[in-house]
Amino acid sequence: MGHTERHVLTDDARRKLTQVSTATITTQLLRLGFRRTFMAGIVPLSPDQRMVGYAFTLRYVPAREDVAVDAHYDNDRNVQRLAVEAVGPEDVLVIDARSDVSAASFGHIIATRIRERGAAGLVTDGALRDTAGIARLKLPTYYRAAHATTSAVAHHPVDMNVPIGCAGVLVMPGDVLVGDADGVAVIPNAHAEAIAHASLAQEELEAFLTEKVAAGAGIRGVYPPSDDVLREYEAQRRDRPA
Amino acid sequence: MGHTERHVLTDDARRKLTQVSTATITTQLLRLGFRRTFMAGIVPLSPDQRMVGYAFTLRYVPAREDVAVDAHYDNDRNVQRLAVEAVGPEDVLVIDARSDVSAASFGHIIATRIRERGAAGLVTDGALRDTAGIARLKLPTYYRAAHATTSAVAHHPVDMNVPIGCAGVLVMPGDVLVGDADGVAVIPNAHAEAIAHASLAQEELEAFLTEKVAAGAGIRGVYPPSDDVLREYEAQRRDRPA
Amino acid sequence: MGHTERHVLTDDARRKLTQVSTATITTQLLRLGFRRTFMAGIVPLSPDQRMVGYAFTLRYVPAREDVAVDAHYDNDRNVQRLAVEAVGPEDVLVIDARSDVSAASFGHIIATRIRERGAAGLVTDGALRDTAGIARLKLPTYYRAAHATTSAVAHHPVDMNVPIGCAGVLVMPGDVLVGDADGVAVIPNAHAEAIAHASLAQEELEAFLTEKVAAGAGIRGVYPPSDDVLREYEAQRRDRPA
Amino acid sequence: MGHTERHVLTDDARRKLTQVSTATITTQLLRLGFRRTFMAGIVPLSPDQRMVGYAFTLRYVPAREDVAVDAHYDNDRNVQRLAVEAVGPEDVLVIDARSDVSAASFGHIIATRIRERGAAGLVTDGALRDTAGIARLKLPTYYRAAHATTSAVAHHPVDMNVPIGCAGVLVMPGDVLVGDADGVAVIPNAHAEAIAHASLAQEELEAFLTEKVAAGAGIRGVYPPSDDVLREYEAQRRDRPA
Amino acid sequence: MGHTERHVLTDDARRKLTQVSTATITTQLLRLGFRRTFMAGIVPLSPDQRMVGYAFTLRYVPAREDVAVDAHYDNDRNVQRLAVEAVGPEDVLVIDARSDVSAASFGHIIATRIRERGAAGLVTDGALRDTAGIARLKLPTYYRAAHATTSAVAHHPVDMNVPIGCAGVLVMPGDVLVGDADGVAVIPNAHAEAIAHASLAQEELEAFLTEKVAAGAGIRGVYPPSDDVLREYEAQRRDRPA
Amino acid sequence: MGHTERHVLTDDARRKLTQVSTATITTQLLRLGFRRTFMAGIVPLSPDQRMVGYAFTLRYVPAREDVAVDAHYDNDRNVQRLAVEAVGPEDVLVIDARSDVSAASFGHIIATRIRERGAAGLVTDGALRDTAGIARLKLPTYYRAAHATTSAVAHHPVDMNVPIGCAGVLVMPGDVLVGDADGVAVIPNAHAEAIAHASLAQEELEAFLTEKVAAGAGIRGVYPPSDDVLREYEAQRRDRPA
């Protein structure tokens, strides 16, 4: 898999990714051949929020009595705690909890900490506890279910910043995660800049087409657009004041 | 199965169906012997909306590379697109997506189109994408989950207006679909008129009984009502100003 | 299992349980060795409500044509109806519906009745019907899914006030059930008083720690707290006006 | 539900039930209106064995640290152990393990004991451990999965000879359980005698029809049989030497 | 989708398909770009049998009281019965039962009939009843689970020889179905001849490579084979007596 | 988690582990406080085989188009292939396939290779392909399901000899895996020697108790054994010829 150079989004691309939907992003990724880029069954804690950030991964394995107990609250050795203090601005902490929702995979106080460190979001394919408290943090958060039980009952954190599976999708450290009301899309880091531009372009065209449909046009010749409609769109764009 | 005559609801019956709950409707259907009439696991996109309309069915099969690619965006041959332009006023477009939520089964622009054509609603036992955009259409919509990926990755539309299974329930073209916050009930077309009247009658009686219970009455003799309580109800109805 | 004495919560403990989260309660229970105390997959009908009450259990078995029919609406013999008229103030009616959501396990009129009897809540690991109507009752309610079909299609009530399993957790009659936005925690009756006090104490400490983290402190030395931080907390508590 | 008189099968009926398939039995039960009479997802440990016996039910609830520990190996108080010593000849011990397969619900030594007591079989909707050892007992056994972990980790026995749900089906104490390679059918006690006779009659007719089909006949007029074919069957039966 | 010409396998291709594994076939299909060609969760009734034949599809929808009753045993109108009498030699009857295993989807007598008509196999993504009886027919059979209940409780046959989904895979009428101990692969009709030849070629090469590995070679240079190893394989083939 | 010293089993302990059941092993582990030590839902390919060996772990993540393609068949860089050539005698190759059975996680030729390298077994919580071919290798093999599709469609190998989750259980490199007809138990390396001895001791006692039960003794005083029965057992052991 190798450790390839991480690309940093331009401000323009980053801004565009906060505007476009995960539906558009996955369509653009499909055009590049990427088929599995959306986390299945993961819902937003607050559907009105948007999330854009770089994946900072955290891997859990099942808890076992000989590994979980002594290290769990040790901020020097517990990998979850090390990750919390390593997450940086614009990072999204994304947890591979093996889709196990029999206990939480993150709690309220450490969620507060990553928000203070500037994290752009929190994603887990497991459960969260104290979801009301986490919602008050205004940190974009995506999860599978609520479960009040503390993570150590089911999970043991073991690695950070390694490739993980999350909700059926590969997440490499540095991949760009975008979240909206549908859930979370994963953009391979090397493609994120281009996907941002292509996605906004698609959405601008679709806004034009949707307006036609909302005004009564049939989809024939409009969606997908005919050459005539595309010319009309281009003309309209040219005439728009900058 | 045969193509039997489709009954059109009277205005009175249609109005009643917009008032009564799916709980009442399934109870009335049970009295006629119908046991499986409610779609399992299907939730409203906007719980405060109500839906009443005739089933216009659309059947999907799993996508395969030799059938999905070339026809997908062809408005002359793609069955999904043909369905979108065939749906009529008061129809509910209802999709058999095999309860597969690994990709969306309908998108925002074509949902806009069926709303413009007067459709009464959209139901799928699969996923939807751009749920925020669809919610803004104010088209009553019922679905299993959100998934941002476009339908062609998982689904190939193959038939319209054939009997389908949707969320575990048979839907025949022309059946009357009613949706509320609980989900979607399916009324066989031939029974819809009678069910509408019986359902409102049941709800009027139950409102009377609930009022008694809310005022402190025990359920004995009230729910189910004794003959005395039924007489009291009938008397009250007679005395009500028209 | 035996029928042991039921402890009644002091007013102080009861008040505390309405303030603390199920996340805190399950942590305190874990310290006593209790690992499985939270109902999996059960969600609140109204996330902003809180529930505290004593378990009044109701056990369902699968319906069968020879047992379900004649007794179902008989308030003298139907166990569900007997339970509805036996639930007392501060009780939570909690139903073992075998996590079967193919039909409802409780309805709106009998929910109205238990609210009038002073019940503190309603919990089922099955489905509910007419959820919009139940939500209007303002009775704290927890359930797995909505299904409009009446309970008799799938369920036959057979016992009340016996130990049950509910959503994977043991519930003994008299256990204290606490519900919040995450779901429902079950506190063994004998431990409820102590858990109430310990839970509030934990939350007061954690509020102090969270304030530090929200002000920019790292978690090292703060969560879990060092001896210094604990002393600071104790000093602050002493200085607080009563 | 009441405690109704238990009917004992005649030797003739019992013999017939060891010959007929669960497919035939469920069809005969359907003719009486019983729709849910077959345990879903339960497989035989030894597909070649047949089982016929009366249900002796055992109900488990989820284990909890305060109830499971002290009583578990106490043969005077542990309900599982009391059941093992109460099961009688021709009884089938049938366990409601809530379909939870995260630990076993019965073990090898106590299975040996019920075989010695003359039990006709063992059925659980949970898991079994030491399945190789149990298979050597030649006791007809039906279960959902293998799991090596002892039952106390997940299960606490709480009742015997009460109505239970097992694999989605109601089982009343005394119901007649029949097992074959497909799994286990439950015959309500009051109907078992009649079902036995009707089932063998159906199978004798179907053997006649199958012979015709195996000889090349089409199903039209044969399955279901026309009046002519029925007369031919009756004639053949009359002519058969007793 | 269209009704394209159906290709008939040469005897050589058909013979090859009876020799190669579904593992090899899906790999060859993947090389053509086909990713989803294997039925998930479908097991052979008799693992030692092999199946090769053309798909004759049968589509079920959920049963409903107004459609299931009168037509079910009517050999003139029931679509299942019409299909049974239309299946031809070398056809595999393949049923879309919506993966619903709450009742059987086919029975023993009609399975006998399709064997007599020369059918090459029976495949369902639902359940079968009387599996012991069907096993005795020696008709290659693939299914998801056993359930003794007759199909009419859950299923209503509605179409034959239409495209269906079966266990997550598209099946077009005329597609070539191959079954072995792993389960069932679906080869699009137009590609079956070529896949047959390519599959046997792959298996012959792999047998050569496996022999090397079984003799102690490492996989480097062997699997995948280096140019040298490929030359060695080709030389050996040339030298083999015809 | 740390890299602790790996203990090597004595020949005596190793021999004992080949004799005792996973049921006994998990009971002995429970006495040490280990509750989750058995892989859920994993079945033997050949139930009559026994497996004992040290865990050599292999971790898969979901496949993605940018990582899977070029490296997949590259024996120098593909982690699966590197693992195959690193597995040593007495090792069990154990794969974390995220319980994803939508494609195989290992194939026949590389299974042949690890057998030749002396591997003691193969375990995956995913699927296997060409199961008939693997069965012929006589390599103890445990898996969740068969799926003919090659692993690269769903899986990308990313790490070896790291802690993994497999079928819900933690597996550390060097842990001792024991397999029988029930499935696979995981013994933490540091405890394996002691567990081996304790397990055989338990089984010898239980054989003595089972003999009593098979001879007609009730379980009271026998299982668990009274002090008298324990003394009788000890006396019998002393008198046994060495």
C-beta of residue A5 within 8 angstroms of C-beta of residue A149: no
Q: Which of residues 124-163 of B touch C (CB under 8 A)?
A: none
CA distance F84 to F79: 9
Tell me the β-bridge partners of B186. B177
Q: Which of A4, A17, A19 is nearest to A193 (CA)?
A: A17
CA distance E134 to E136: 5
Question: Radius of gyration (Cα) for chain D, nearest Å?
Answer: 20
Q: Which of A75, A81, A147 sits opposite C40 (nearest CB)?
A: A147
Neighbours of A12 (CB within 10 A): 12
CA distance B109 to B91: 18
The pLDDT tens digits for F160-176 are: 999 999 999 999 999 99
CB-based contact E183 F109, cutoff 8 Å? no
* pLDDT given for residue E71 in this prediction: 47
**Residues of chain D under the 50 pLDDT cut:** 1-2, 70-71
CA distance B133 to E149: 45
Q: Which of E130, E135, E126 is nearest to E47 (CA)?
A: E135
Question: Radius of gyration (Cα) for chain E, nearest Å?
Answer: 20
Q: Which of E64, E156, E168 sits opposite B34 (nearest CB)?
A: E64
* pLDDT given for residue C72 in this prediction: 54
For residue F3, pLDDT beyond 80: no
Residue B239's pLDDT band (cuts 50, 70, 90): confident
C-beta of residue C55 within 8 angstroms of C-beta of residue C174: yes
Residue F68's pLDDT band (cuts 50, 70, 90): low
CB-based contact F169 A62, cutoff 8 Å? yes
Residue tagged 């169906």 (tokens): B17
Model confidence, pTM: 0.96
Tell me the β-bridge partners of B185. B38, B178
**Which chains reach chain B with 3 or more Cβ–Cβ distances below 8 angstroms?**
A, C, E
* pLDDT given for residue F242 in this prediction: 59
C-beta of residue E157 within 8 angstroms of C-beta of residue D39: no
**Residues of chain A under the 50 pLDDT cut:** 1-2, 70-71
Q: Which of B40, B209, B218 sits opposite C147 (nearest CB)?
A: B40
- Chain C residues whose CB is inside 8 A of the D71 CB are 1
Looking at residue C109, its amino acid is I
- Chain C residues whose CB is inside 8 A of the B25 CB are 148
Q: In sequence order, what are the residues at sequence separation of 6 or more whose Cβ sits closer than 8 angstroms to the Cβ of residue F47?
A: D132, F181
Distance between terminal CA atoms of chain E?
A: 43
Q: Which of D201, D202, D105 is nearest to D152 (CA)?
A: D105
Which one-letter DSSP state was computed for residue B38?
A: B
* pLDDT given for residue A240 in this prediction: 77
* pLDDT given for residue B75 in this prediction: 76
State CA D189 to chain mean position distance: 12
Q: Given phi > 0 = left and psi -120 to 50 = alpha, else beta, which region is F168? A: left
For residue F2, pLDDT beyond 70: no
For residue B164, pLDDT beyond 70: yes
| A215, B129, C10 from A219: Cα distances, Å | 11, 18, 67
For chain B, the average pLDDT equals 94
Q: Which of E110, E132, E150 sits opposite D219 (nearest CB)?
A: E110
The torsion angles phi and psi of E214, rounded to 5 degrees, stand at -65, -25
* pLDDT given for residue F72 in this prediction: 54
**Which chains reach chain A with 3 or more Cβ–Cβ distances below 8 angstroms?**
B, C, F
Strands (E), F63-133: 91-96, 121-124, 127-128
Mean pLDDT, 10 residues at a time, chain C of 242 residues: 74 98 98 96 97 98 82 76 96 98 96 98 98 97 98 96 98 98 98 98 97 95 95 92 64
- Chain A residues whose CB is inside 8 A of the F98 CB are 98, 165
Q: Coil, strand or helix: which one is B152?
A: helix
| A83, A122, A159, A182, F5 from A51: Cα distances, Å | 20, 9, 24, 12, 44
- Chain C residues whose CB is inside 8 A of the B211 CB are none
* pLDDT given for residue D1 in this prediction: 43
Angle among Cα F84, F88, F93 to the nearest 5 degrees reads 55
- Chain F residues whose CB is inside 8 A of the A172 CB are 67
* pLDDT given for residue D240 in this prediction: 77
What does C186-208 look like in DSSP terms, one character per residue? Answer: EE-GGGHHHHHHHHHHHHHHHHH
Structure tokens at C42: 């059960």
For chain E, the average pLDDT equals 94
For residue E86, pLDDT beyond 90: yes
Nearest residue on chain E to F137, alpha-carbon basis? E214
* pLDDT given for residue B220 in this prediction: 92
- Chain D residues whose CB is inside 8 A of the E145 CB are 41
C-beta of residue B132 within 8 angstroms of C-beta of residue B109: no
CB-based contact F66 A188, cutoff 8 Å? yes
Nearest residue on chain C to A102, alpha-carbon basis? C40
* pLDDT given for residue E239 in this prediction: 87
Stated as kind and residue range, the H or E segment containing D176 is strand D176-179
- The verdict on A41 touching B (C-beta cutoff 8 Å) is yes
* pLDDT given for residue C5 in this prediction: 76
Q: Which of residues 215-234 of A touch F (CB under 8 A)?
A: none
C-beta of residue A118 within 8 angstroms of C-beta of residue C216: no
Count of D–E CB contacts within 8 Å? 83
Nearest residue on chain C to D36, alpha-carbon basis? C64
The pLDDT tens digits for B88-132 are: 999 999 999 999 999 999 999 999 999 999 999 999 999 999 999
Q: In sequence order, what are the residues at sequence separation of 6 or more whose Cβ sits closer than 8 angstroms to the Cβ of residue E129?
A: D21, D22, D23, D26, D182, E104, E106, E107, E108, E146, E147, E148, E149, E150
- The verdict on A214 touching B (C-beta cutoff 8 Å) is yes
Q: Is the confidence metric ipTM above 0.90 for this complex?
A: yes
- The verdict on E62 touching B (C-beta cutoff 8 Å) is yes
CB-based contact C47 A132, cutoff 8 Å? yes
The pLDDT tens digits for A152-165 are: 999 999 999 999 99
Which one-letter DSSP state was computed for residue C152?
A: G
* pLDDT given for residue F175 in this prediction: 98
Q: In sequence order, what are the residues at sequence separation of 6 or more whose Cβ sits closer than 8 angstroms to the Cβ of residue B14?
A: B52, B196
CA distance D214 to D204: 15
Q: Which of B110, B131, B148 sits opposite A38 (nearest CB)?
A: B148
Signed CA dihedral, A208, A211, A212, A217: sign only = positive
% chain F with pLDDT above 70: 95
What does C96-118 look like in DSSP terms, one character per residue? Answer: E-TT--SSBS--HHHHHHHHHTT
Residue E138's pLDDT band (cuts 50, 70, 90): very high
% chain D with pLDDT above 70: 95
* pLDDT given for residue B2 in this prediction: 46
Residue E72's pLDDT band (cuts 50, 70, 90): low
- Chain F residues whose CB is inside 8 A of the A66 CB are 34, 188, 190-191
- The verdict on F61 touching A (C-beta cutoff 8 Å) is yes
Q: Which of A161, A218, A195, A143 is nearest to A19 (CA)?
A: A195
Neighbours of D59 (CB within 10 A): 30
Q: Which of B81, B112, B149 sits opposite A26 (nearest CB)?
A: B149
CA distance D176 to D9: 9
* pLDDT given for residue C70 in this prediction: 47
- Chain A residues whose CB is inside 8 A of the F32 CB are 65
Q: Which of F37, F67, F170 sits opposite A61 (nearest CB)?
A: F170
CB-based contact C210 A108, cutoff 8 Å? yes
Count of B–C CB contacts within 8 Å? 82
Residue D212 burial (C-beta neighbours within 10 Å; 0-12, 13-18, 19+): buried
CA distance E171 to B108: 29
CA distance D225 to chain C (A): 29
Looking at residue E67, its amino acid is V
CB-based contact B156 E170, cutoff 8 Å? yes
C-beta of residue C21 within 8 angstroms of C-beta of residue A134: no
The pLDDT tens digits for F80-129 are: 999 999 999 999 999 999 999 999 999 999 999 999 999 999 999 999 99
| Rounded (10°) angle between helices E22-31 and E192-214 | 120
Count of A–F CB contacts within 8 Å? 80
The pLDDT tens digits for B171-198 are: 999 999 999 999 999 999 999 999 999 9
**Which chains reach chain C with 3 or more Cβ–Cβ distances below 8 angstroms?**
A, B, D
